[in-house]
């Protein structure tokens, strides 16, 4: 495997910086673009989320608390939880702005941003009819500090004035590569990706491996070895992107709006730390997936990766087609495997990005359980347990925290091999369906 360092994040960040655009009026550079973009959600997108994933560990308890707590922060309003650096002055201005008075203009202007929204009206809630990249040429017929009226495809439209210039900008040579095209190598967190601003521990690198056989599937599976972030339990991240409290218990109780960035994980009955076993499991699964033609994004390949649960999730969102986080639970009953399902709490299931993705999370979870069951792995109850996790709260690709057993479960190499077969079967099943 080549390990050419990619520095995708840096390139993308550089491109954005050069373009001078802020998050509000552009979509992010990763694969997820489609849902970010526009703006309704802009405030939400920025507003931070993060709750610690607590998930995996120690959740035998309470689900479905159903607290339903808060409702989403208003779009566009910067909640207190917002990471400072992520909110630009421009954004605040744009958000407050109301119908501008336009000066007449008749001039050629150029887009100086990537994915600049072209709207039907001068307002960040207006319909987006197109997104233009750096260098696109437009005729401007009206100008205000905030919005410009332009002719796009023969129609009057509006774009944010700050991303237009009257001199043709240089088009950056290195656009951010699409996730599906990037070569193997290190992948860092691109600060421009949606929700990246909610991550607190971000300096680590994931590693992308490309399958090389004839059977290449062109699908990237993010394999996330749970835990293993030094110092992760003394940092807190926001539970939900919109700042609302957790709706179920777990490592962090229901009602909390922030949670440990990465918990340390449990210890098996024989004294082995969970993080060691999740790492061993990840390595086994990686080899099986590559052999089956999947590309694999390994979040962690050593005892420590400086990526918190938000960072891990955002990297998976942008670089993978699904995300599987590996855990064992902290009970001692050898109760079997299950996945953390999305709590049946209406406020939670209607919060983005959960609202748009929870069913695909369940489809992935159900496939994994079917795969495990198929190789004889003991399954707990119906194979799912409701849990409000950081991972789920920020995932925009099918994403599951799977608990492969608990403290009392065998974690020998032979067992991990069997589990790996079941998980790989489940992943294949998911992509077939």
Positions touching Zn ion (CB under 5 A) are: 56-57, 226, 265, 327
First to last CA, the chain: 30
- 368: helix, coil or strand? helix
Structure tokens at 249: 């218990």
Distance separating alpha carbons of residues 390 and 311, to the nearest angstrom = 10
Other CB atoms closer than 10 Å to residue 54's CB: what's the count? 29
Chain residue at closest Cβ approach to Zn ion: 56
Minimal distance, residue 389 CB to Zn ion, in Å: 11
> 210: number of CA atoms within 13 Å, CB side?
15
Residue nearer to Zn ion on the CB measure, 294 or 328:
328
Phi first, then psi: give them for residue 413, nearest 5 degrees.
-60, -40
Distance CA 188, CA 338 (A): 30
Give the nearer residue to Zn ion in terms of CB position, either 136 or 389.
Answer: 389
Distance separating alpha carbons of residues 21 and 148, to the nearest angstrom = 15
C-alpha torsion 260→263→264→270, nearest 10: 140
Query: Cα(92)–Cα(24) distance, rounded to whole angstroms?
Result: 9
Shortest reach from residue 227's CB to Zn ion, in Å: 6
Residue 277: which of 231, 326, 230, 229 has the closest Cα? 326
By C-beta, is 226 or 241 nearer to Zn ion?
A: 226
Q: How far is the CB of 175 from Zn ion (least distance, A)?
A: 37
Residue 1 CB contacts under 8 Å (≥ 6 apart), including other chains: 184, 209, 210
Which CB atom, from 226 or from 420, has the smaller least distance to Zn ion?
Answer: 226
Nearer to Zn ion, 242 or 401 (CB): 401
Least separation in angstroms between residue 426's CB and Zn ion is 19
| CA-only gyration radius of the chain, Å | 22
Which one-letter DSSP state was computed for residue 377? -
Between 112 and 278, CB nearer to Zn ion: 278
Rounded Cα distance, 289 and 418, in Å: 13
Q: Least CB distance from residue 59 to Zn ion, whole Å?
A: 9
As measured in angstroms, the least distance from the Cβ of 282 to Zn ion is 12
Of 162 and 229, the one with the shorter C-beta distance to Zn ion is: 229
Least Å from the CB of residue 226 to Zn ion: 4
Q: How far is the CB of 390 from Zn ion (least distance, A)?
A: 12
- For Zn ion, which is the closer residue by CB, 200 or 407? 407
């Amino acid at each position: 495997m080549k390990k050419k360092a990619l520095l995708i994040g840096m390139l993308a960040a550089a491109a954005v910086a050069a373009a001078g655009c802020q998050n509000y009026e552009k979509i992010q550079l990763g694969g997820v673009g489609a849902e970010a973009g526009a703006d309704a959600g802009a405030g939400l997108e920025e507003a931070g989320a993060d709750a610690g994933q607590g998930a995996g560990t120690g959740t035998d308890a309470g689900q479905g608390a159903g607290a339903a707590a808060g409702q989403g922060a208003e779009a566009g309003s910067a909640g207190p939880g917002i990471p400072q650096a992520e909110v630009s002055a421009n954004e605040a201005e744009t958000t407050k702005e109301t119908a501008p008075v336009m000066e007449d203009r008749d001039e050629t202007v150029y887009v100086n941003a990537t994915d600049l929204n072209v709207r039907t009206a001068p307002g960040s809630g207006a319909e987006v009819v197109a997104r233009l990249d750096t260098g696109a040429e437009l005729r401007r017929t009206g100008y205000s500090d905030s919005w410009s009226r332009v002719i796009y495809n023969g129609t009057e439209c509006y774009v944010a004035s700050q991303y237009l210039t009257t001199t043709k900008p240089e088009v950056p040579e290195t656009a951010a590569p699409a996730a599906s095209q990037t070569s193997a190598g290190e992948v860092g967190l691109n600060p421009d990706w949606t929700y990246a601003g909610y991550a607190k521990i971000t300096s680590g690198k994931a590693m992308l491996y490309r399958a090389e056989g004839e059977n290449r599937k062109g699908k990237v599976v993010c394999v996330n070895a749970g835990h293993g972030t030094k110092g992760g339990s003394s940092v807190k991240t926001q539970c939900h992107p919109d700042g609302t409290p957790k709706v179920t218990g777990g490592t962090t109780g229901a009602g909390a709006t922030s949670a440990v960035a990465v918990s340390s994980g449990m210890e098996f009955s024989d004294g082995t730390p969970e993080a060691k076993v999740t790492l061993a499991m990840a390595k086994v699964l990686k080899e099986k997936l590559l052999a089956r033609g999947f590309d694999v994004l390994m979040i962690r390949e050593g005892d420590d990766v400086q990526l918190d649960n938000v960072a891990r999730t955002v990297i998976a969102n942008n670089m993978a087609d699904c995300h599987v986080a590996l855990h064992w639970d902290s009970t001692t009953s050898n109760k079997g495997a299950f996945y953390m399902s999305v709590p049946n709490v209406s406020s939670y299931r209607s919060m983005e990005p959960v609202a748009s993705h929870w069913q695909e999370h369940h489809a992935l979870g159900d496939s994994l359980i079917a795969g495990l069951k198929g190789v004889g792995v003991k399954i707990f109850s119906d194979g799912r347990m409701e849990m409000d996790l950081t991972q789920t709260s920020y995932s925009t690709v099918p994403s599951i925290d799977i608990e492969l057993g608990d403290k009392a479960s065998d974690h020998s190499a032979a067992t991990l091999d069997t589990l790996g077969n079941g998980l790989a079967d489940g992943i294949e099943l998911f992509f077939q369906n």
